[in-house]
Structure 1
Amino acid sequence: MAVRRRRVPAIVAAASILIVALAAAVLWPATYRSTGTILIEQQEVPVDLVRSMVSSYADQRLQVITQRVMTSENLMRIIDRYQLYPERRRKDPREVLLNRMRDDVHFSMISADVVDPRMGRPTKATIAFSVSYDSPSAVIAAKVANELATLYLNENLTSRRQTADDTATFLTAEGDRLSKQIDELGVKLAAFKEQNVNNLPELSQLNMQLMNRAEEELRETDTRVRSLDQQIVYLDAQLAQLTPTEQLYTETGQRILSPADRLKTLKSEYARATAIYAPTHPDILRMKREIDGLEKQVGRVDTGNDLARQLSDAKSQLAAAREKYASDHPDVQQLERLVASLHTAMRDAPLTSEAVRSDPDNPAYIQVSAQREASVNERAALQKKNAVLRKRIADYERRLSASPEIAREYSTIMRELENAQLKYSEVRQKQMEATLAKNLETERKGERFTLIEPPMASEQPASPNRPALVVIGVLLSFGAAVGMVLLLEAVDTSIRGRRDIEALVSVPPLAVLPWIETPADRAARSRIRRLSLAGAATSFVAAIVMVHFLYRPLDVLWAVAWRRFFG
């Protein structure tokens, strides 16, 4: 009954909503979307053989590339190139145009279930992505989408090459720096070795052995020197018992004196004879001539010692004679003259006078003297050797005492050199890998973007969805009609039946008179029925026409339906 009473407002509300929906479906301008799909292909060369320098995941790189592509410069260049948004460009600032452009660009990733080769468990991986652009013109949408896809392809290629180039350049510079550092450490190590050529740590054991050997030689040399000292003392004692010249005897057993000994004897006899005889005595003259001849032959001899001994003996005899005899006794006078003569001879032949001695000819003396001279020479050589050995031992001790500090500095330099060489080897290995990766990217054998579905001019608009708008309009029209009926019933306070009276007075009525339909009511109901049927027919026809022109031709729909249900 409520629907019958409120049918006119309900029809008006439903018709209004339906007309608005139909107008929106018909008048809403079409927006075309052109989409390009780009496949992320893995590198052709196995990763175990050549590693790429781009180590980030595909979705991370896509986000970075998207930020680089969607820069204001790139978008404004596309807007200017294709004359996008002509109405807005006359009145809106650049920021508004860029925001509108970013809203019209759509980016989506395409993932697939794969098995992670490193972890061995299933995961989702990005294998492709799509780039779309919405425009009122299908051709413009395709051109802009192609431009965006090209930017993605070029940016990926450029970024990968740039990454490979930067990595190779960095590793080359780092390798050169480490090579220079190694050269400097090598020069430093060579200078250190040159300064401490005998104190290096690897020579410590050798220095210790050499010092021990030198100490043993020194002990042996000292022992030999002490032995030679004893031998020299023994030989000196033997020499003291031997005369340099060999004693010769006549057939009668009388000793034959050498010229030097004969000269000494004659001088002693001459000093004694001058005390007894006058200077003109024949014996005095004979001894004088013989002394002069011998001096010419052997030169002057040292007679001071002999004269001193004779003088001492003469003084002793004189003292003894004076005790026995008077001063005028001939023996006393003779001894006084002898003492005076010896004093005179002492003045003529002092103790320091030079003497020319003949070479020794006693074989025993010569042998012992040669042994002594050899021992003395050997002792002098051993003394020199001792000095050299002591100096050498002091040098070894200095080396060993300085060895710990030198070893510390040496180990520091060697550790720095080994670390630099290790780093250099690692960098050079990485540089070779970077060079291979660079060639991989240059020849496009690495991971790359491939446009598998280029953007094309769409034949069907992406929006609006006109059939959906019509369906939504129909649903909303029914909803509006129901809502209008419920709203009017809720605000209406008039009494229309037995229930309203019972609710109002809480007393049941005595009788209920039925609705008496008049001819006017029947005519009005028939008119409304005809209008409803006409409106429904008109809506159905309009819906059929809109489906034919806005969604898909009716013959195509009929063929599709026939093939689905009867084919």
Structure 2
Amino acid sequence: MEDTRNTTGLDVLLEVWSRRKWLAILMFMGPLAASVSVAIALPYLYRSSATLLVERPEVAETFVKSSVTGELETRLHTISREILSRSRLQELITRFDLYPEFRKRATPEEVVERMRRDIHMEFMAAELQYGRGPTIAFTLSFRGRDPETVANVTNILASMFVEENVKIRERQASGTAEFLRAQLEEMKGKLDQEERRLGEFKESHIGELPEQMEANLATLQRLNTEMRLNKENQMRVLERLEREKLTRQLAQARASGADGNTPVSGGDGEALTARLSRLNQELTELRSRFSEKYPDVIRVKAEIAALEGQLSETKTDERAATNATAPANLSPPRHRKVRSEGEKELDALKEEEKTLRQSVATYQRRVELAPHREQEFQELSRDYKTMKELYNALLQRYQEALVAASMEQGQKGDQFRILDPAIPATSPSAPNRFRLLLIGLMLSGMLAAGVVKLAEHRDTSFHTVNELRDFAKVPVLVRIPRIVTKADIARRRWQFCLALLVLAILVVTTYHVAQGNEQLVWMLDWSRS
């Protein structure tokens, strides 16, 4: 009989369900049973948290500047790396017997990495009007299977943070002070070297230093004055010696006249007058060329004065000549003595002049070298001043570092304080079994629908008259229903038993895998922060 009924979408779904119901049930029950098995077998994990408060320095930085620099977050990460090191976590794992089942099948490194994943930190910053403020606290959490153990481990980790922060700050403060001390010693050595160079320069160039310039000029002026006085003294001595020489010559002439019992003749007077004329002429020439202090000028003037005195004397009688003979005979020794004393005085003045000239040359050289020495002295002084400033700056920083280290030892700097210690959790934090079941139900439904749709898409057989009529374009005479034989029933039973067996194996396998599998809980815990 030909089927001419119109089919609706619901009819199509019912027909598909009638054909694929066992496949859909199997595809639906498999994932659902697995998700139920996983949700039941997964162990509960508990999380405990401890809140640590960051306490700011008790001493204001305007009074004591801390030598521990760097952002708090950076220091926290440094402390975290120290605490989450393999040695420390391995000690906690052994002490509290953490992850006993996982430790049987995993390496120590994997167990330590597992514990690192179970430890979580969250920073809490001050709320500012613009942007994020500085960190004022942070939360440290740990999760595991036993709530008491989890709380104890969390509190120990928090205590480690507090202790490690103190150690790091003291180590940084003392390290800064030690570094500055080494730098200070090195700088002091350089400063001492500059001081020695400056002292050696002053010692080797004494009298040529810039600050001695005024003293050198004053000494040079004094020496020039002494040289002028020495010249004047020499001129006076020369003048006296010339006068004595002329007097001695006159006495000798008188003595010669007395021995011959003849008075001084007019020829002698004419000779003296002629000599006086020549001396006046010579004096005129010398004055045109030299000053009055020139030695030859002084000598000629002395001779002129002596000749003029000689010509003024009157020689009237032999008695006067005779009376003049005795003194004349006695005068040569006295004149020789006076001449000897004058020459000694002149020699002393010349020796003094030589010494004065040497001193003038010395001080003149000092004055000439003063600009060059001043430049060298300024270079040395500049280097010394720069080194001194660096030394003073390092000394100040070293003293500040010592005070900062003392402050850190007294725990007056940034400190961590456990504000809220961890307590045993009353309810597990994972897994969320209801959510796992809901997800399993959704996945099972989607999987069943997808498999049925795929099976229908790959099925090329005709299941209704309309499908055959649309495909063949020929009249359909009769529709024969499906004939179920005993072999078909046996095959269906065998398939059903096989499906149940597969389902049971799937449930047992998933239960075995999920039982006590904390790592699977961690993977399925979407709420993990």
In structure 1, what is the equivalent of residue 418 of structure 2? Answer: 451
1:210 aligns with 2:224: no
In structure 1, what is the equivalent of residue 109 of structure 2? Answer: 95
Of 126, 129, 149, the residue aligned with 1:140 is 149
1:4 aligns with 2:14: yes
Shift of 1:230: 4.2
Structure 2: distance between partners of 1:220 and 1:498: 156
Structure 2: distance between partners of 1:230 and 1:412: 55
* 3-state SS, counterpart of residue 404 of structure 2: helix
Structure 1: distance between partners of 2:332 and 2:355: 40
* 3-state SS, counterpart of residue 62 of structure 1: helix
Structure 1 residues 3 and 9, CA gap change in structure 2 (3 angstroms): farther
Shift of 1:149: 1.6
Structure 1 residues 492 and 358, CA gap change in structure 2 (3 angstroms): closer
**TM-score normalized by structure 1?**
0.61
Structure 2: distance between partners of 1:106 and 1:21: 28
1:110 aligns with 2:110: no
In structure 1, what is the equivalent of residue 467 of structure 2? Answer: 500
Q: Which string of whole-angstrom CA distances, capped at 9 and with x for unpartnered residues, describes residues 37-57 of structure 1?
A: 323333233333322112111
Structure 1: distance between partners of 2:473 and 2:54: 79
Of 25, 34, 39, the residue aligned with 1:20 is 34
Of 173, 181, 187, the residue aligned with 1:172 is 181
Shift of 1:164: 0.7
In structure 2, what is the equivalent of residue 30 of structure 1? Answer: 44
Of 139, 152, 172, the residue aligned with 1:130 is 139
2:429 partner letter: A
Of 400, 403, 407, the residue aligned with 1:436 is 403
* 3-state SS, counterpart of residue 108 of structure 1: strand
1:155 aligns with 2:169: no
Structure 2: distance between partners of 1:160 and 1:124: 22
Structure 1 residues 201 and 253, CA gap change in structure 2 (3 angstroms): closer
1:166 partner letter: G
1:154 partner letter: E
Structure 1 residues 244 and 388, CA gap change in structure 2 (3 angstroms): farther
Of 39, 47, 53, the residue aligned with 2:53 is 39
What RMSD in Å do the two structures reach over aligned CA positions? 4.0
Aligned pairs (5 A) from 1:546-561: none
1:236 aligns with 2:236: no
Shift of 1:422: 1.2
In structure 2, what is the equivalent of residue 418 of structure 1? Answer: 385
In structure 2, what is the equivalent of residue 463 of structure 1? Answer: 430
Of 67, 82, 92, the residue aligned with 1:78 is 92
Q: Which string of whole-angstrom CA distances, capped at 9 and with x for unpartnered residues, describes residues 64-112 of structure 1?
A: 2122112221111111211222234445432232222223222333345
Q: Which string of whole-angstrom CA distances, capped at 9 and with x for unpartnered residues, describes residues 315-344 of structure 1?
A: xxxxxxxxxxxxxxxxxxxxxxxxxxxxxx
Q: Which stretch shifts more, 133-142 or 121-130?
A: 121-130
Aligned pairs (5 A) from 1:165-314: 165-215=174-224, 217-219=226-228, 221-222=230-231, 225-226=234-235, 228-230=237-239, 232-242=241-251, 254-255=319-320, 261=326
Aligned pairs (5 A) from 1:335-484: 379-400=346-367, 403=370, 406-407=373-374, 410-484=377-451
Shift of 1:405: 6.1
**Aligned sequence identity (%):** 27
1:210 partner letter: T
Equivalent pairs counted in the alignment come to 406
In structure 2, what is the equivalent of residue 558 of structure 1? Answer: none
Structure 1 residues 393 and 23, CA gap change in structure 2 (3 angstroms): same
Tell whether the 8 Å contact from 2:462 to 2:468 is kept in structure 1 after alignment: yes
Structure 1 residues 490 and 244, CA gap change in structure 2 (3 angstroms): same
Tell whether the 8 Å contact from 1:3 to 1:485 is kept in structure 2 after alignment: no
Structure 1: distance between partners of 2:436 and 2:353: 121
* 3-state SS, counterpart of residue 493 of structure 1: coil
**TM-score normalized by structure 2?**
0.65
Structure 2: distance between partners of 1:502 and 1:446: 91
Structure 1 residues 93 and 64, CA gap change in structure 2 (3 angstroms): same
In structure 2, what is the equivalent of residue 287 of structure 1? Answer: none
Structure 1 residues 18 and 440, CA gap change in structure 2 (3 angstroms): same
1:87 partner letter: E
1:417 partner letter: Y
Structure 1 residues 19 and 234, CA gap change in structure 2 (3 angstroms): same
Structure 1: distance between partners of 2:128 and 2:341: 102
Q: Which string of whole-angstrom CA distances, capped at 9 and with x for unpartnered residues, describes residues 201-234 of structure 1?
A: 3223532453355345435543553465345324
Shift of 1:158: 0.2
Structure 1: distance between partners of 2:195 and 2:418: 55
Structure 2: distance between partners of 1:242 and 1:499: 185
Structure 1: tracts of 5 or more residues without a match: 116-120, 265-300, 302-355, 516-567
2:436 partner letter: L
The structure, 1 or 2, with the larger RCO (C-alpha pairs under 8 Å, 6+ apart) is 2
Tell whether the 8 Å contact from 1:111 to 1:128 is kept in structure 2 after alignment: yes
Structure 1: distance between partners of 2:104 and 2:468: 68
Structure 1: distance between partners of 2:245 and 2:332: 20
Structure 2: distance between partners of 1:207 and 1:424: 35
Structure 2: tracts of 5 or more residues without a match: 1-10, 259-316, 482-529
Structure 1 residues 432 and 2, CA gap change in structure 2 (3 angstroms): farther
Shift of 1:151: 1.6
* 3-state SS, counterpart of residue 241 of structure 1: helix
Tell whether the 8 Å contact from 1:498 to 1:512 is kept in structure 2 after alignment: no
1:3 partner letter: L
Structure 2: distance between partners of 1:493 and 1:358: 173
* 3-state SS, counterpart of residue 40 of structure 2: helix
